[in-house]
């Protein structure tokens, strides 16, 4: 366990991981903002279909 903690302390490639994390977060935010209006439209279509069924 001590070796692992020392490795984390001395590891310098974490900056790249942080950058990848920020990119993933940005893509997720864009996907949520883009798909939210589309989701409400799709829900409206299914509601309309459900209301028209006998």
Give me the DSSP letters along 10-35.
Answer: H--THHHHHHHHHHHHHHHHHHHHHH
Position 13 scores a pLDDT of: 62
Position 22 scores a pLDDT of: 92
Q: Is the pLDDT of residue 4 over 80?
A: no
Evaluate whether residue 37 is within a structural domain: yes
Evaluate whether residue 30 is within a structural domain: yes
Evaluate whether residue 3 is within a structural domain: no
Evaluate whether residue 14 is within a structural domain: no
Over residues 12-52, the pLDDT tens digits come to 666 677 888 899 999 999 999 988 888 888 899 999 999 99
Domain count, the chain: 1
Collapsed DSSP state (helix, strand, coil) of residue 48:
helix
Cα distances (angstroms) measured from residue 20 to each of 3, 7, 8, 34? 25, 20, 18, 21
Domain holding 29, by residue range, is: 24-48
Name the pLDDT band for 11 (thresholds 50, 70, 90). low
- What predicted TM-score, i.e. pTM, was given to this entire model? 0.52
């Amino acid at each position: 366990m001590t070796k692992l903690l020392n490795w984390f302390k001395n590891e310098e490639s974490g900056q790249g991981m942080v950058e990848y994390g920020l990119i993933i977060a940005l893509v997720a935010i864009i996907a949520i903002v883009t798909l939210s209006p589309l989701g409400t439209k799709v829900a409206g279509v299914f509601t309309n279909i459900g209301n028209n069924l006998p």
